[in-house]
Structure 1
Amino acid sequence: MTRSESDRRPWCRACERPASHCLCSLIPDLDSNTHLLVIQHPSEQRHPLNTARLLVRGLKNARLLIAEQLSGQSDWYQQLQDPAWRTELLFPGAESALLLAASADTRPRRLVLLDGTWRKARKILHVNPVLQHLPRVALPVGLHSRYRVRKAPMEGALSTVEAAVAALNIIEPDTDFSALLTPFEALIDGQIKAMGEERFHRNYRPS
């Protein structure tokens, strides 16, 4: 399901969903000490299963930047290099250290997430040296996604909102961020209902 100019159904401008499937009542209003910057590939902006939008709506200290390549003159390009911040890129790989909460570093902490398919996320990283120079961190192995209507590119792959919640629960263990997953789960359940159980089981259930 995609939105087009000819789509005349009532539309919620806040959550970017049809009014009949509005998720606003399920989106929390949480705060965090950690700042999240989600860099979203432009092709994901209008995707009906846009979990980055739900994440940023539900977390006060989060921002969404829609771009494939950051301009060297942009504010975010400069902020990502600001030594007054402890800025890390959440991205799996051999170069990534395990994400930890405890640290002697007292600077405010910023976590950067890349939103898109695995191929598009790698493209964002590839064309932005400013991101390549950031320390990389990764989530523990063994996490499982509830993103049941997209096939995971690898074991342990999570949606953007799931990865953010897992990361925040590690960094700030005294706060429960799981409420950010409530609209996400409703979104997935609605998509499964729309496609029908038979199609869902045929295309997405593991064999």
Structure 2
Amino acid sequence: MTNENEVWEDLSSIPADPPKMREICTRCRRPCVVCWCPFLPSTPLHTLCRVVLLQHPAEERRCLRTAPMLSHSLATDRCLIYKGKRFPQNRHDGLEEILKSPNSVLLYPSKDAVEIQNLPLVSEIIEPYNLIIIDGTWPQAKAIYHSTTMLHHLKQVKLTSGGISEYVIRTQPTDGCLSTLETAAQALAIVERRKDIIDILLQPMKALCSFQLNHGAVTHQSKEFRIKNETYPKQIGKRLSRLLKQTEASNSNVS
């Protein structure tokens, strides 16, 4: 009987009302106490070029991603997001015209890609660029590229001096890999000759990293860095091994 009384006492101490849920920001969908919206530009940035994201469906489900930061930071018509594994599809209004446009370029580090610094500046061309970026992990990006034949006919460009990603709460394959937001910011800054774009666009990402690190997250080194320093805990797969060899070859050519 004593045990039964103890059980009832324990049950009676449980609050009748459900626990209060954390308040969620309606824009970034994060808890308000760690919302990055205050770090967005006060007025959406109106760039000359448009950023066009081809987003893998799995990327949308990630809780830590930078595409929403880019979308909210740029003026409405300056950032277009199309979702899917293959492009274009019937639901992708206007994308086929963009992919056929002579002023569209794909940021993709293929063997035929040229350094984006070698493109004519926006001030030197008739129409500004459509900067097309595949938003997803490296394997997802490769799968989208190979299944979308229209991308193969686009002029392909690459960033070779982007440095190491400041998105330290997510692991990058190599030291030269950047997040979607960083890629767009670097590309826009180069073709429009506006270094201030980088600082403006990266503010919410830096705030997010700071929030996460202050709440127990750890800094992530790239897989390339950890492999070189013999701290990578897994066996290297063929795909990652090929990527690292391509990166070493590219760095050798640049130097």
With the length of structure 2 as denominator, give the TM-score of the two structures: 0.70
Structure with greater proportional helix content: 2
For 1:179, which of 200, 215, 232 is the aligned residue? Answer: 200
With the length of structure 1 as denominator, give the TM-score of the two structures: 0.85
Matches within 5 A, 1:13-24: 13-24=26-37
For 2:99, which of 53, 73, 81 is the aligned residue? Answer: 81
Secondary structure at the residue paired with 2:69?
A: helix
Deviation for aligned residue 1:70: 2.2
- Whole-angstrom CA distance in 2 between matches of 1:71 and 1:65: 9
- Whole-angstrom CA distance in 1 between matches of 2:159 and 2:21: 42
Deviations 1:145-193 (A, max 9, x none): 1111222212311011111111111011146212110000011111222
4+ long deviations beyond 6 Å: none
Aligned identity (percent) is 30
* Matched letter for residue 195 of structure 1: G
For 1:47, which of 34, 58, 62 is the aligned residue? Answer: 62
Matches within 5 A, 1:1-207: 8-28=21-41, 29-60=44-75, 61-73=78-90, 74-83=92-101, 85-100=102-117, 101-102=119-120, 104-141=124-161, 143-174=163-194, 176-177=196-197, 178-196=199-217, 200=218, 204=221
| More off after superposition, 97-106 vs 86-95 | 97-106
* Matched letter for residue 183 of structure 1: P
Give 2:234's aligned residue: none
Deviation for aligned residue 1:33: 0.2
Task: For structure 1, list consecutive stretches of 5 or more residues without a partner in the other structure.
Answer: 1-6
Secondary structure at the residue paired with 2:112?
A: coil
| More off after superposition, 161-170 vs 59-68 | 59-68
Change (3 A) 1:176 1:111: same
- Whole-angstrom CA distance in 2 between matches of 1:130 and 1:165: 24
Structure with greater proportional strand content: 1
* Matched letter for residue 81 of structure 1: L
Deviation for aligned residue 1:58: 0.2
RCO higher in structure (CA 8 A, sep ≥6) = 1
- Whole-angstrom CA distance in 1 between matches of 2:209 and 2:149: 34
Task: For structure 2, list consecutive stretches of 5 or more residues without a partner in the other structure.
Answer: 1-19, 230-255
| More off after superposition, 157-166 vs 186-195 | 186-195
- Whole-angstrom CA distance in 1 between matches of 2:200 and 2:25: 21
Is the CA contact 1:77–1:130 (under 8 Å) kept in the aligned structure 2? no
Deviation for aligned residue 1:10: 2.0
The RMSD of aligned alpha carbons is 2.2
